[in-house]
């Protein structure tokens, strides 16, 4: 549902039948709807565990992929993305997984659990970026959605067997958390959520458009997809080391540093030069891998407890608005000016803002509560 979308945008796939604006709107709504449901889903997971929501997400995701593949009009693409793929993402992506880690593991083992989770999740890019491109070449983008839907069904079957029912007991789980609405009066939460909103908007825009950006610059889609897959592989060390480094040196400082590198990796997409594509994918891959688990470490240190799912959901609901809007904004700006340059410069500024807000949130946390 995630990495395949960036391949679908290209002129060899759904981009040949639908405009960049329409497909970006579909993807943006997919992100925003999923984020809007994050609080409600997080509250349910707080009470009942992750198994049932996850299974529902796999089924809904399979249906959404099939509907997307049968779309003949732009509104049908948007409807499949907003009404099915968006809720499916909220039920199966990292948000419910992070809450499950908090429910299943205490502070001693949390970093290792997050490292393993995000490391394995990082294999999605190397598998599904070139894999989707090859499937599109072999059987067309509509046939590819059927294969992807079958993968979703298979993953759901595995989870039906593997996931525990309810919330496993954990004696060292915090007895109290910081439940909503108090978090909305916590300056460090507001500042860090602002940082997450900026970085989420930037990442969603880059991840969705970057294959099309380099296609527009004259690169073959197959070559760009290979580099994108390599970028995902480069994210693996950061995914594994990020939680340990955040526990030892402070998650906020690492988050701010990583977003600075993300800004650099986005800025070098603009302009001429064959070096820009490998430089972008190398820089961005290392950065993206580290940011995912670092956020979970920061939030668990601040808010671990029975309300953790609601806190994470509330934060992600706010961040997903930016994450959903930016791909559509970038797509509309690209269509308006006839190129990706101005849009990518704007995204670079978003990452710089994220680094600033994250740094301020860390200073507020240390001054008010003695935490990093």
Domain membership of residue 280 as a residue range: 3-161+180-367
Residue 366 confidence (pLDDT): 53
Structure tokens at 12: 């060899």
Q: Is residue 242 a part of any domain in this protein?
A: yes
Q: Is residue 136 a part of any domain in this protein?
A: yes
Residue 144 confidence (pLDDT): 94
Q: Is residue 174 a part of any domain in this protein?
A: no
Indicate the Cα dihedral angle 142, 5, 113, 318, nearest 10°. Answer: -130
Cβ neighbors of 57 (< 8 A, separation 6 or more) are 87, 88, 89, 90, 91, 92, 96
Number of structural domains (the chain) is 1
Q: Is residue 170 a part of any domain in this protein?
A: no
Residue 68 confidence (pLDDT): 93
Residue 231 has pLDDT above 80, yes or no: yes
DSSP states of 191-250 as a string?
HHHHHHHHHHHHHHHHHHHHHHHHHHTT--HHHHHHHHHHHHHHHHHHHHHHHHHHHHH-
Residue 177 has pLDDT above 80, yes or no: no
Residue 181, preceding peptide bond in cis (omega within 30° of 0): yes
**pLDDT tens digits, one per residue of 205-222:** 898 888 888 888 888 888
Sign of CA dihedral 206, 286, 108, 49: positive
Closest by alpha carbon to 99, among 156, 33, 152, 173? 173
Q: Is residue 169 a part of any domain in this protein?
A: no
Mean pLDDT of 83-97: 91
Q: Is residue 111 a part of any domain in this protein?
A: yes
Other Cβ atoms less than 10 A from the Cβ of 75: the count is 12
67 or 241, which is more confident: 67
Q: Are 246 and 299 in contact, with CB atoms under 8 Å apart? A: no
**pLDDT tens digits, one per residue of 36-65:** 888 888 888 888 888 999 999 999 999 999
Residue 154 has pLDDT above 90, yes or no: yes
Closest by alpha carbon to 320, among 1, 27, 31? 31
**pLDDT tens digits, one per residue of 298-314:** 888 888 888 888 888 88
Compute the chain's Rg from CA coordinates: 20
We report the CATH number of the domain holding residue 111 as 1.20.1250.20
Q: Is residue 167 a part of any domain in this protein?
A: no
Mean pLDDT is lowest, of 108-112, 203-207, 271-275, for 271-275
Mean pLDDT is lowest, of 91-100, 145-154, 214-223, 252-261, for 214-223
Q: Is residue 106 a part of any domain in this protein?
A: yes
Other Cβ atoms less than 10 A from the Cβ of 296: the count is 27
């Amino acid at each position: 549902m995630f990495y395949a979308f960036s391949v679908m945008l290209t002129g060899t796939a759904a981009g040949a039948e639908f405009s960049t604006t329409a497909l970006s709107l579909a993807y943006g709504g997919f992100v925003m709807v999923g984020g809007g449901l994050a609080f409600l889903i997080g509250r349910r997971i707080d009470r009942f565990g992750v198994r049932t929501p996850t299974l529902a997400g796999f089924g809904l995701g399979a249906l959404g992929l099939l509907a997307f593949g049968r779309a003949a009009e732009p509104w049908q693409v948007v409807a499949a993305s907003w009404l099915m793929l968006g809720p499916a993402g909220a039920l199966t992506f990292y948000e419910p997984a992070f809450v499950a880690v908090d429910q299943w593991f205490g502070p001693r083992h949390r970093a290792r659990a997050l490292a393993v989770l995000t490391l394995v999740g990082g294999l999605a890019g190397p598998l599904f970026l070139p894999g989707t491109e090859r499937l599109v070449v072999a059987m067309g983008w509509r046939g590819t959605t059927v294969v992807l839907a079958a993968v979703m069904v298979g993953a759901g079957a595995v989870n039906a067997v593997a996931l525990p029912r309810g919330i496993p007991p954990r004696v060292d789980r915090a007895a109290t958390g910081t439940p909503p609405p108090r978090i909305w009066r916590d300056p460090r939460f507001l500042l860090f959520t602002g940082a997450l909103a900026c970085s989420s908007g930037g990442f969603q825009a880059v991840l969705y458009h970057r294959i099309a950006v380099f296609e527009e610059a004259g690169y073959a889609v197959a070559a760009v997809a290979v580099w994108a897959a390599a970028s995902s592989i480069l994210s693996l060390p950061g995914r594994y080391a990020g939680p340990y480094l955040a526990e030892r040196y402070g998650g906020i400082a690492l988050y701010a540093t990583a977003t600075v590198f993300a800004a650099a990796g986005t800025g070098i997409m603009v302009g001429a030069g064959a070096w820009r594509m490998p430089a972008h994918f190398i820089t961005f891959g290392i950065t993206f891998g580290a940011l995912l688990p670092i956020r979970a470490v920061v939030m668990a240190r601040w808010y671990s407890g029975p309300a953790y799912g609601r806190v994470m959901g509330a934060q992600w609901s706010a961040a997903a608005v930016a994450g959903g809007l930016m791909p559509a904004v970038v797509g509309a700006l690209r269509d308006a000016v006839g190129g990706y340059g101005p849009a990518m410069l704007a995204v670079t500024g978003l990452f710089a803002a994220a680094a600033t807000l994250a740094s301020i949130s860390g200073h507020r946390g240390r001054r008010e509560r003695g935490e990093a």
